[in-house]
Amino acid sequence: MSGQACGAEGIVWGISHPGGRERNEDALLILPLGDACLLAVADGLGGHEGGELASKVAVEALRETFERGYTRGIGVEGVKGLLLRAYEDAHRRIVEISPGPGKMGTTLTAAFVRNRMAVVANSGDSRAYLVQEGKIVARTRDHSVVQELIERGIISGEEAREHPMRHVVTKALGVDLGVDTYVWELKAGDVLLLSTDGLHDYIDEGIIGKLVFGSDPRTAAEALIGEALKVTEDNVTVVVFREV
């Protein structure tokens, strides 16, 4: 658990909880960068050996890349380049230490926040949300089997929560790297939420929006974790950033 001012314009709080499991294969990162803030959540793939190690490797590669390569004033394309470099480096490290193809992997969702702008990168089915006045106005696209089924009109979002393949990802670090990037503009009071699937696979997005609305990041994070623990046995991790 951690809470702090981050960047010039925001407050952030993160919590990672093992849920009903003995091991927590999730990891989070909150890295102040002077005029900016770097946030991330990672979820070691269930059923794969070394998921806990893979998620830690991912956030450490991200940290190291930005600590070495970030300079004040770098543009959006430069930030995207750093994010992609970090993802590629993490993927390579995980593949190198994996006991075999597909035996270690992790999702990774990261957000660089500066000057009321978020540059987001995603691989897997962890998510970033942009919440304005209690309503989710943008989120990352899952790299998952059920997301593809939803987009093809085969199942609904509600059906996806109960689908037997809901935890099967199509892209992830250490397995099959694929990274999407997004750029979101932030306004005062907006919330940027990063979460692993222990939250959003079980909690309706409308409820998520309401739980973060009008609350400070610590209160919002604790409320999200508390709500998730009522219904999930999975690991659950959230990072809540509020633009002030």
Express each pLDDT in 111-155 by its tens digit: 999 999 999 999 999 999 999 999 999 999 998 877 667 667 776
> What structural domains and CATH numbers belong to the chain?
2-243 (3.60.40.10)
pTM listed for this prediction: 0.93
Comparing 169 with 13, which gets the higher pLDDT?
13
**What percent of the chain clears pLDDT 70, i.e. is strictly above it?**
89
Mean pLDDT across 148-168: 67
| Range 9-47 burial, b when 16+ CB lie within 10 A, else e | bbbbbbbbbbbebeebbbbbbbbebeebbbbbbbbbbee
Task: Kindly report which listed range (24-28, 162-166, 177-181) carries the lowest average pLDDT score.
Answer: 162-166
Cβ atoms 98, 58 nearer than 8 A: no
Of 78-82, 161-165, 201-205, highest mean pLDDT: 78-82
SS3 164: coil
**4 vs 41: CA distance, rounded Å:** 17
Which residues partner with 117 through β-bridges?
114, 185
**Beta-strand runs (E) in 126-207:** 127-132, 135-139, 180-185, 191-195
Quote the pLDDT of residue 97: 92
